[in-house]
Amino acid sequence: MASIDIANIHKSYGIMPVLNDIDLNIADGEFVVLVGPSGCGKSTLLRMIAGLEHVTEGEIRIDGRRVNELAPKDRDIAMVFQSYALYPHMSVAGNMRYSLKIRRIAKEKIAELVTAAAAKLGLGPLMERRPKALSGGQRQRVAMGRAIVRQPKAFLFDEPLSNLDARLREQMRAEIKKLHKDLGATSIYVTHDQIEAMTLADRIVAMHGGVIQQVGSPLELYDKPANLFVAGFIGSPGMNFFEGRYDVSGGAASFALDGGIILPLNGTTNLGQGGAGTLGIRPEHVVLGAQGPDALMATVELVEPTGFGIIVHLKLGTVAFKAFTLDRRFLGMQGAIAVSLPEASLHFFDAAGQKV
Amino acid sequence: MTGKRILAILAHRLTILVYVVFALFPLYWLLKVSVTPNKLLYSEGIRMWPSRASLEHFEFVLRHSDFPIFFKNSLIVSGSTAVIVTLFASTAGYALSRFQFRGKYALVALMLLTQMFPLVMLVAPIFKILSPLGLTNSLTGLVIVYSAFNVPFATFLMQSFFDGIPKDLEEAAMIDGATQFVAFRQIILPLTLPGIAATLGFVFTAAWSELLFSLMLISGNAAATFPVGLLSFVSKFSVDFGQMMAAGVMALVPACLFFLLIQRYLVQGLTAGAVKG
């Protein structure tokens, strides 16, 4: 087990910058998820920690020791690939044995370690099979077995569940979490799936355009997103955004939405008089069938039942937004409906997209 | 099944049959002439099979001609060429597939360039080069020339096989504790066996049937390969068709055996199951 420290990392391919000024300290035993859309640099960062990509600038330390110049084999980390990358000409046992054999560990010890890892993952009956005779979920499990068998300092996961169907993904997600609980190993997990990030992480690192946008616990990112990107990326269905202008006149504050609708506010924001900004609210915080002076009239565009709840697509003036409710009364809803956006649940972002 | 469908299948099978017969007929004729006794060769007219078959031509070729020498020479030249070319091509192909290095594209262009000249143009300069080195009239000379001509294409062939093997596999091996070379040897090479077999087969047959350079660089029977040797059955006054065909049939054997040996690898999709599902 080990801590991983990433200091001022820059990475570029030729003149193309991919990662910019990445600073991150991962504690011993922590489960950190790097999340972001395709091309945000999260996989590149993981591959740099693994030693598969050269570090252009900055320093990576594993357990306090600088590893920039170390070959992957000397970093004592294990990695689970999106493609599983199982050796097709070796059996399951051969795949799991390989890393131990290459380290010249005694045969009896290897057998013992492989059997233990296989038992942990329920791979016992598959040991003599070749990868091509396994299902996707089984291959995934073998890839994990190959990683845990040699008890490395840290585990790196590169979108390991992307190739599985939804049900299997859910199941494997739980298994990974359980495995982490059992082994307590430092883990870095890359995904573009924010649900995986939310459910697995001790801490989430949200990335966009090669820059870290926010680091925090899953609920911190959900409840207090640092900027528009994180607010929009975390959560499904995503946060609603309304652009407009903050106004304080005659002691009363309000937010004038583009399209002419005025939202009176009791509190104040840091947007400043006349400041353009964006107002955000999560779909589950939109109150449907609201009454009172705060109520706004919206039009129902579409109702999507998910079974668990209902997603209502609405329009306020010309701006489309969504509401989420568990109340089945809204299933057959159409036409106009009164909604309110409770002030306590509002997020304000300035013109640069930063939370104010 | 409707009548129309049966007809379509029949037409399909018939077309394939016609093609196969067309392609294999020369081989059949080779065999037929090789077992036809000289007496019957011209006297019987055109028949699908002689009224009496014999192995006399085979016996003559083996006992009284230089064919065994040609055969041995061909075997040495083709076998060595195949092994040397495959060794070079697999390491070069791996480098082209996996490494970025300066001058990579210039190198590829240069290799491509070597494939653009008609061989006839090159015979004289090559003879000029090999002659002072004492490499004309020698099997070594032939091996060098054949290897030089086959390496570029074989390299491209091997490169495409390496390109087909996911990079993840060797990265996984490197994280598991292997150096790049160990990953190449233990993970990538075993998966490239079909490609290596294809390259071996391709180069072996190319060298086995090469006539031009052999004819130009070799004089006399001691170092002649069998395509040149076949010409020795043509004399000023007659052509010994029976013996020539018998030699031809025997010359087919190694190539057939070779492909029989490697066909398992040729058809094997070994990487299935390596990645994704």
Express each pLDDT in A99-112 by its tens digit: 999 999 999 999 99
ipTM score for this prediction: 0.85
* Torsion angle (degrees, nearest 10) of CA B79, B84, B86, B89: -150
Give the least confident one: A39-53, B67-81, B258-272.
B258-272
What is the per-residue pLDDT for B266?
A: 66
Entry pTM: 0.81
pLDDT band at B175 (very low <50, low <70, confident <90, very high): very high
Is B238's pLDDT higher than 80?
Answer: no
Q: Assess contact for B146 and B84: CB atoms under 8 A.
A: no
What are the respective helix, strand and coil percentages of chain B, to the nearest 5? 75, 0, 25
Answer yes or no: are the C-beta atoms of A246 and A258 closer than 8 Å: no
DSSP3 helix / strand / coil % (chain A, rounded to 5): 30, 35, 35
* pLDDT tens digits for range A312-333: 999 998 889 999 999 999 998 8
CB atoms near residue A304 (< 10 Å): 12
pLDDT of the residue at B277: 36
pLDDT above 50 for A93: yes
Nearest to A81 among B172, B178, B270 (CB): B172
Helix/strand/coil for B276: coil
Instruction: Give the nearest chain A residue to B268 (CA atoms).
Output: A89
pLDDT band at B268 (very low <50, low <70, confident <90, very high): low
Residue B271: the pLDDT is 43
In one-letter notation, the amino acid at residue B152 is: P
Task: Give yes or no for A78 touching B (CB within 8 A).
Answer: yes
CB contact under 8 A, B191 and A139: no
Per-residue tokens: A325: 């409710």
Tens of pLDDT, residues A208-261: 999 999 999 999 999 999 999 999 999 989 999 999 999 888 778 888 887 788
Confidence label for A164 from pLDDT (cuts 50, 70 and 90): confident
pLDDT given for residue B275 in this prediction:
45
pLDDT value of position B274? 44
d(CA B106, CA B109): 5
Cβ atoms B182, B219 nearer than 8 A: no
What residues of A are in contact with residue B172 (Cβ under 8 Å)?
79, 81, 85-87, 146
Contact A132 B277 (CB under 8 A): no
Interchain pair A77, B275: CB under 8 A: no
Task: Find the mean pLDDT for residues B80-97.
Answer: 94
The rounded mean pLDDT for chain A is 92
CA nearest to B31, candidates B232, B225, B226, B248: B248
**pLDDT, average across residues A165-184:** 90
Q: Which residue of B has its CA nearest to A130?
A: B273
Summarize the confidence of residues B106-128 as an average pLDDT. 89
| Closest in B172, B175, B273 to A130, CB measured | B273
Cβ of residue A120 closer than 8 Å to a chain B Cβ: no
Query: How many CB atoms sit inside 10 A of residue B227's CB?
Result: 18
Nearest to A4 by CA among A67, A92, A57: A67
CB–CB of A84 and B276 under 8 A?
yes
Q: Are B277 and A85 within 8 A, CB to CB?
A: no
pLDDT for B1 beyond 70? no
Between CA A287 and CA A280 the distance in angstroms is: 14
Chain A interface includes B277 (CB < 8 A): yes
Q: Mean pLDDT in chain B? A: 87
Q: Hey, of B171, B175, B193, which one would you mutate to test binding to chain A, going by the most A CBs within 10 A of its CB?
A: B175
Residues 6+ apart with CB under 8 A from B9: none
Q: Are A239 and A232 in contact (CB under 8 A)?
A: yes
Alpha carbon distance A167, A353 (integer Å): 36
